[in-house]
A and B are shown apart, each in its own frame.
Chain A
Amino acid sequence: MSVITVERKILEKNDEVARQNRELFANHDLFVLNLVSSPGAGKTTLLERTIESLKSTIKIAVIEGDVQTDLDARRVAKYNIPAVQILTRGGCHLEAHLVREAVTNLDLRGVELLIIENVGNLVCPSNYDLGEEMKVVVASTTEGEDKPLKYPAMFRNASVLIINKIDLLPYINCSLTALRDNALKINPSLTVFETSCTSGAGIGAWCDWLVEHARRKPAS
Chain B
Amino acid sequence: MHELSIAQSIVDIVGQYVPPEQAAAVRTVNVRVGALAGIVPESLTFCFTAITAGTPLAHAELAVDFIPYRVSCAACLTTSPAEPGLALCPHCGSAETTVLSGTELQVVDIELNSIATEHV
Residues of A in contact with B (beta carbons under 8 Å apart): 1-11, 13-14, 91-93, 95, 123-124, 126-127, 149, 152-153, 155-156, 185-188
Q: Are A10 and B85 in contact (CB under 8 A)?
A: no
Residues of B within 8 A of A127 (CB): 2, 37-38, 105
Query: How far is B25's CA from A2's CA once the two chains are assembled, in angstroms?
Result: 10
Tell me the minimal C-beta distance from A157 to chain B in angstroms.
10
Q: Which residues of B lie under 8 Å from residue A4 when comparing CB positions?
A: 17-18, 109-110, 112
How close is B69's CB to chain A, nearest CB, in angstroms?
A: 9
Chain B interface size band reads 20 to 34
| Contact residues, B84-114 vs A (CB, 8 A) | 84-88, 95, 105-114
B31 within 8 A of A: yes
B10 near A1: Cβ-Cβ < 8 Å: no
Chain B residue, CB-CB nearest to A148: B85
When the two chains form their complex, are residues A186 and B106 in contact, meaning their CB atoms are under 8 A apart?
Answer: no
CB of A10 within 8 A of CB of B105, answer yes
Question: Is the C-beta of B12 less than 8 angstroms from some C-beta in chain A?
Answer: yes
State whether B85 touches A186 (Cβ < 8 A). Answer: yes
* Interchain CB contact under 8 A, B113 and A8: no
> Contacts A4-B110, A10-B31 hold; do A185 and B88 have CB atoms under 8 A apart?
yes
Contact between A10 and B95 (Cβ–Cβ < 8 Å)?
no
**Are A9 and B106 in contact (CB-based, < 8 A)?**
yes
Q: What are 24 A-B contacts with C-beta separation under 8 Å? A: A1-B111, A2-B112, A2-B117, A3-B111, A4-B17, A4-B109, A6-B17, A6-B108, A6-B109, A7-B106, A7-B107, A8-B13, A8-B107, A9-B105, A11-B9, A13-B12, A95-B5, A123-B38, A149-B83, A149-B85, A152-B83, A152-B85, A156-B36, A185-B86
